[in-house]
Amino acid sequence: MTLFSLVDLFGVSVFAVSGALRAREKKLDPIGFVTLGLVTATGGGVLRDAILGRVPPFVFQDSVILGVAVAVSLAVFAVNIPQKGLEYFDAVGLGFYSAMGALLALEKGLPPIPCVLVAVTSAVGGGVMREVMVHELPFIFRGTLYATASILGACVLLVAHRAGAPDPLAIGLASAIAAGLRILAIRFNWSLPTPRDGER
Q: Is 9 in the site for a copy of itself (CB under 8 A)?
A: no
25 CB contacts (<8 Å, ≥6 apart)? 83, 86
Q: Is 176 in the site for a copy of itself (CB under 8 A)?
A: no
Q: Is 32 in the site for a copy of itself (CB under 8 A)?
A: yes
Alpha helices in the chain (DSSP H): 3-25, 30-52, 63-78, 85-107, 112-133, 146-162, 167-188
Q: Is 166 in the site for a copy of itself (CB under 8 A)?
A: no
| Closest separation in Å from C-beta 181 to a copy of itself | 13
Q: Which of 74, 117, 173, 176 binds a copy of itself (CB under 8 A)?
A: 117
Total of chain residues touching a copy of itself, rule CB under 8 A: 60
Burial of 5 (0-12, 13-18, 19+ CB in 10 A): middle
Q: Which of 46, 154, 157, 171 binds a copy of itself (CB under 8 A)?
A: 46
Instruction: Please state, in angstroms and rounded to a whole number, the distance separating the CA atoms of residues 161 and 173.
Output: 11
| Closest separation in Å from C-beta 145 to a copy of itself | 8
Residue of 65, 69, 10 whose CA lies nearest to 36:
69
Residue 96 amino acid letter: F
CB 73 within 8 A of CB 15: no
- Site residues, a copy of itself (CB under 8 A): 24-32, 34-35, 38, 46, 50-53, 55-57, 59-63, 66-67, 77, 80, 83, 105, 108, 110-114, 117-118, 128, 132-135, 137-138, 140-141, 143, 146-148, 191-196, 199-200
